[in-house]
Structure 1
Amino acid sequence: MATRSTRPGMGAIPYPGGVTFRVWAPFAGSVSAAGAFNGGSPTASPLAPEGDGHWSADVPGAAVGHDYRFVIDGGRWRIDPRARQVTHSSGVGIVADPEFDWRSNDFAMPPWDELVIYQMHPGTFPDRPVGPDQEFDAIIGDLDYLVELGVNAIQLLPTGEFFGDLSWGYNPANIFAVESSYGGPKGLKRLVDAAHGKGLAVFLDLVYNHLGPQDLGASVWQFDGWFRTHDGDEMGGIYFYNDWRARTPWGHKNRPDYGRPEVRSFLRDNALMWLEEYRVDGLRFDMSCYIRNVDARDDVPPDDPTNLDGWGWNLLRWISDEIDAHEPWKITLAEDMRRNHAVTRPTSEGGAGIDSQWDDLFVHTVRAALATPRDEDRDLGAVQGAVEHRYGGDPFRRVVYTESHDEVATKNGKRRLTEDIHPGQADSWYAKKRSTLGAALVMTSPGIPMIFQGQEILEWLPFDDDHYMDWDKYDEGRFRGIYHLYRDLIRLRRNWSDRTRGLRGRHVNVFHRNDRDKVLAFHRWQDGGPGDDVVVVANFGDRGYQGYTIGLPRPGPWHVRFNSDWQGYDGAFGDFPSDGTTAEPGGRDGLPCRADVGVGPYSAIILSQ
């Protein structure tokens, strides 16, 4: 007769001399653990029922590194849904070693108003093809490149174990395990540790709006038995909704059942695992709109059944509250893409409590303005709205960008911004000028700026999981000047020289909009004054101006800290003269002073005192 364990924890928990196994299987008649510790016997290591649908046992002789699976009712072999390591998504679980020799123990999360995020795909970012299981280690070798660029946070596309070895990661099969082809749990911990040693935060992308759809049958799909609806339709069982609520854009039956407390705990525990055991600094929730609502809709009453009885919403709130209570300096991000202000509203005010969300208004508006072929068709009013947009009055509740994995993938019918601007000639003057104008808007608009891998070296190949980033664009020096442009923008955004504090500030005033000549100017500040007030002039037209008159908030000398038309960034740029200026009394644009500035075609300049 099996004896249930008194040790806490779910999954496989090593202890001196053995391993505790615990699993949730409420419809099972029997559960056993089978693996290297008992010759793979389906009956030698039975688990005892705990009375609440859980089964457990302490198994002497089991140890770290042993493979294992659970055997349900004597014949249903399943990977542990909470396995921390697997051989592959349809293979077996491995008792993972919880110990790790952390070296970087004094890392401090950058202030949120200083964050600059670099989104990367672990499988294609490294600067060379690498062997199996070496992707994380290869990224470690490229961290100095990111440090020099000036970003201070890397956001990894999902790293949970997925089907096959090539994937974006948005088809998770084993959400507690780290993708084996990337380097598994130790590899991810080495990357986080090394990044922290370089001053870089690490964010992970989590996929809770659906699971799979591939390879779920080896683990969570019908985990403890068959399940059919009244009309005979085969459904997913205890981890999934088993009716119309199961449908998602990524499969018709693979939405987790947020209404089950055990499933909510499963997802909540997963989120906290990355923060606590892997020491990651932030989490991004993929397409949270499909956690909130079956069809990602906002235009329905709160009691509409498509809102999943509020359980998905409560899951997000629970995770947010747990993080805020224990590690409030760590950040949560949502890809909601529905401009839902409640997503980033504090839970005390009825919101989901997520700290910031990707701003689809910014990316789609700015890309449209930059890609529009004719200057007269550019909508500067829309661009002004994108610069000013914020959620709940807080500028840091949004992430601003012009490229992400979704926006640059042919699989999604998208392409790189440079290709959008000048199809087939992404290295043309037009593509370089207008894409770098977009970079200036990203780094100077209120919010948390983000760039996607390769954007800083004018990568124009679309993103996919089957080819590496084209590092020759940097290594051969052809677009190293574009890299320096991004580096200079990021340093100004982070106020490295204490001359542009306003770019970290909360305030913006778009004080000048010339719809005819396509010039926009805005003021950024935190407290105001020299070193704080920043003015950005963005020219969306192909004509330069040697003496363009704008208002300025303070009198006296103003210095040009950045000119995107500088020839040092690219030999084809015009080096349009954009020297410092002196603001004189005599109001303009609603500001107390005025001055003339020089700004090149499709260029941005940044001024401060």
Structure 2
Amino acid sequence: FYNDWRAETPWGHNRPDYGRPEVRRYILDNALMWLEDYHCDGLRMDAIAFIRNVHGEEDPNADLPDGWTLMRWVNEEIRNRQPWKITIAEDLRGNPAITRTPEDGGEGFSAQWSASFIYPVHEALTTMNDADRDMHAISRAICTHYNGDAFQRVIYTESHDEVANGKCRLPEEIGGGDVESYFAKKRMVLGAALTLTAPGIPMLFQGQEFLAPGSFNDTEPLQWDWAEAHAGLTQLYRDLIALRRDLRGVTPGLRGQGCHVFHVNNDDKVVAFARWDDSPENATIVVVNFANQARPGYTIGLPAQGSWTVRFNSDWQGYDQDFQNFTCYGADAQWGDYDGFPQHGSFDLAPYGVIVLSR
């Protein structure tokens, strides 16, 4: 361990001396053990901001060069031995060098947790008044990426840090203790839909798919009977995952790098964005209504002519009996400039609703 000011961490005077060969070898061997002996698919490395910097900040005067080179060495060894494995950094400082390749001076992680997604999305979902939700912040959260690669970030609305240590799960916070309230369920679904349709690697925390209440405690098991009680919401997650993976062959855009938030209405609290793989004309469109007010006949621009079909409607009552079954039909694109596109279409949006469209 360090024996000077570098030893200080938020958890005590206990930072390992990353410059000592035996410390570096111990940490590398531990990482390789999980991948090679236990056959894990990858590793998430915790709080690496405090490995590369004494204060966990972008402060050059407190940098720990030995910590930086240690993480780079670990990633290089993993890539050389098992290049198909993934390494994820919990850094949360938005530093693109974390996922830049070692050849380009980076640490070489495959992906990093994205503070630019969780915090603005969490703020928009938990804010009490619709008028206070910031659609411009949501727009920025959707398309942020590192080093030109949408999949170098991990996006989520719940994690072990966000729902423990004095914090509670997202629906618990939205509902003020009533996770089964209409508002808790509807706005939780907005977060789920964004997580599973925005560019990035989506991460789900255990139990959020069936509205697990309270906060996370690793001494208390999940209440699995909630999965049966909220089977509809669990199905909603399954449907979103199927769309995200394009298992039905109708939403290939959700697997691609392309992303463009083309519609931001901060008055009506609506955001629409396009995701694509090969070309914008083959995009999948996601429209999100952050207000508790229906928007019938809501017009957005469309990136191509043709018939746009609704592939997902979050207000289907099969997902939850409190939902309103607000019907949303597809539409044929009509000529006329809108949102920067030469054609547009109109769709019915449910209160706190999400629709996914493709041709």
Compute the TM-score of the two structures, normalised by the length of structure 2: 0.98
The match for 2:33 is: 273
Distance of 1:245 and 1:515 partners within structure 2: 46
Task: Tell me the secondary structure at the aligned position of residue 284 of structure 1.
Answer: strand
The higher radius of gyration belongs to 1
Task: Tell me the secondary structure at the aligned position of residue 180 of structure 2.
Answer: coil
Greater length-normalized contact order (CA 8 Å, ≥ 6 residues apart): 2
Please list, as runs of the form range in 1=range in 2, the aligned pairs for 1:428-467 lying within 5 A after superposition: 428-467=181-220
Per-residue deviation, 1:243: 2.1
1:566 is aligned to 2:316:
yes
Please list, as runs of the form range in 1=range in 2, the aligned pairs for 1:344-493 lying within 5 A after superposition: 344-409=99-164, 411=165, 413-474=166-227, 477-493=228-244
Distance of 2:354 and 2:300 partners within structure 1: 14
The match for 2:72 is: 317
**Match among 279, 288, 300 for residue 538 of structure 1:** 288
Structure with the higher fraction of residues in helix conformation: 2
**Match among 307, 310, 313 for residue 63 of structure 2:** 307
1:244 is aligned to 2:5:
yes
Distance of 1:277 and 1:454 partners within structure 2: 29
Distance of 2:220 and 2:305 partners within structure 1: 53
Task: Tell me the secondary structure at the aligned position of residue 9 of structure 2.
Answer: coil
Contiguous gaps of at least 5 residues in structure 1: 1-239
Task: Tell me the secondary structure at the aligned position of residue 63 of structure 2.
Answer: helix
Per-residue deviation, 1:528: 2.8
> How many percent of aligned residue pairs carry the same amino acid?
53
The match for 1:263 is: 23
Distance of 1:519 and 1:560 partners within structure 2: 17
Task: Tell me the secondary structure at the aligned position of residue 405 of structure 1.
Answer: coil
Distance of 2:183 and 2:320 partners within structure 1: 12
Compute the TM-score of the two structures, normalised by the length of structure 1: 0.58
Task: Tell me the secondary structure at the aligned position of residue 24 of structure 2.
Answer: helix
Task: Tell me the secondary structure at the aligned position of residue 548 of structure 1.
Answer: strand
Q: Please tell me whether the aligned partners of residues 546 and 577 of structure 1 are also in contact (alpha carbons under 8 angstroms).
A: no
Task: Tell me the secondary structure at the aligned position of residue 243 of structure 2.
Answer: helix
How many residues end up aligned between the 2 structures?
A: 359
Task: Tell me the secondary structure at the aligned position of residue 355 of structure 2.
Answer: strand
Distance of 2:343 and 2:196 partners within structure 1: 25
Please list, as runs of the form range in 1=range in 2, the aligned pairs for 1:137-286 lying within 5 A after superposition: 240-252=1-13, 254-286=14-46
Task: Tell me the secondary structure at the aligned position of residue 451 of structure 1.
Answer: coil
The match for 2:331 is: 581
**2:97 partner amino acid:** A
Q: CA RMSD in A?
A: 1.1
**2:9 partner amino acid:** T
**Match among 254, 264, 271 for residue 520 of structure 1:** 271
Per-residue deviation, 1:448: 0.2
Deviations 1:22-72 (A, max 9, x none): xxxxxxxxxxxxxxxxxxxxxxxxxxxxxxxxxxxxxxxxxxxxxxxxxxx
Distance of 1:593 and 1:568 partners within structure 2: 33
Cα gap change, 1:338/1:562 in structure 2, threshold over 3 Å: closer, same or farther? same
Cα gap change, 1:529/1:512 in structure 2, threshold over 3 Å: closer, same or farther? closer
Deviations 1:362-404 (A, max 9, x none): 1111010011000100011101010011112211110000000
Distance of 1:568 and 1:592 partners within structure 2: 36
**Match among 84, 88, 100 for residue 329 of structure 1:** 84
Contiguous gaps of at least 5 residues in structure 2: none
Distance of 2:96 and 2:278 partners within structure 1: 26
Per-residue deviation, 1:261: 1.2
Per-residue deviation, 1:461: 1.9
**1:582 partner amino acid:** D
**1:467 partner amino acid:** E
Deviations 1:463-489 (A, max 9, x none): 012211111111xx3211000000000
The match for 1:501 is: 252
Deviations 1:3-30 (A, max 9, x none): xxxxxxxxxxxxxxxxxxxxxxxxxxxx
Task: Tell me the secondary structure at the aligned position of residue 452 of structure 1.
Answer: coil
Distance of 1:382 and 1:599 partners within structure 2: 21
**Match among 302, 305, 308 for residue 555 of structure 1:** 305
**2:275 partner amino acid:** R
1:599 is aligned to 2:346:
no
4+ residue runs over 2 A deviation: none
